[in-house]
Structure 1
């Protein structure tokens, strides 16, 4: 169960990010205010997390196929670091969107 959670949470988050990209694009701001800054940070966080997740998934598959040595636990650690960075960036983005200064 623990192993499932370690690998499933970053995958679920990546799917949610992919699904959130289109609605996020529909909220493009027309002015330069905190909402626009938060929107920009959130959009780049979505794209960055998806990119990092795809690169780590490719590295993990290549390691399982034996193309080079890359331990799976390193990919898990890096994916959880990406999750942490994404959560921090989205937290800042939502704080700005909802009216933070």
Structure 2
């Protein structure tokens, strides 16, 4: 059960990011205020997390298939680090968007 949670949470966050990408793009602000700064941070956080998740997923699959030596547990640890960084960036973005 714990092994499932270790791999499922980063996947769930990636799915939620993919679903939030289009509405986030549609909310492009036209002014330069805290809302716009929060939106920009959130947008780049979504893009960075999706990119990091895809790269780490490819590394994990390649290590399981034996294409090259890369420990899968390191990919899991890096995935959790990416989730943590994404949560911090999104927290800051929402803090700016909602007006401090």
Instruction: Indicate the TM-score class for this superposition, using the shorter chain for normalisation.
Output: over 0.9
Residue 46 of structure 2 corresponds to 46
Any gaps of 5 or more consecutive residues in structure 1?
A: none
Query: By how many angstroms is 1:72 displaced?
Result: 1.1
Alignment partners' CA distance in 1, 2:49 and 2:61: 18
Residue 55 of structure 2 corresponds to 55
Displaced runs of 4 or more, over 6 A: none
Query: By how many angstroms is 1:35 displaced?
Result: 0.1
Q: Over the residues paired in the alignment, what is the CA RMSD in angstroms?
A: 0.4
Query: By how many angstroms is 1:7 displaced?
Result: 0.2
Query: By how many angstroms is 1:69 displaced?
Result: 0.8
1:29 is paired with a residue whose SS is coil
What's the TM-score, normalizing by structure 1? 0.98
Q: Deviation string for 1:30-73 (max 9, x for gaps)? A: 00000000000000000000000000000011101101111111
What's the TM-score, normalizing by structure 2? 0.99
Q: Deviation string for 1:11-48 (max 9, x for gaps)? A: 00000000000000111000000000000000000000
Alignment partners' CA distance in 1, 2:4 and 2:59: 19
Query: By how many angstroms is 1:98 displaced?
Result: 0.2
Residue 85 of structure 2 corresponds to 85
Alignment partners' CA distance in 1, 2:81 and 2:32: 31
Any gaps of 5 or more consecutive residues in structure 2?
A: none
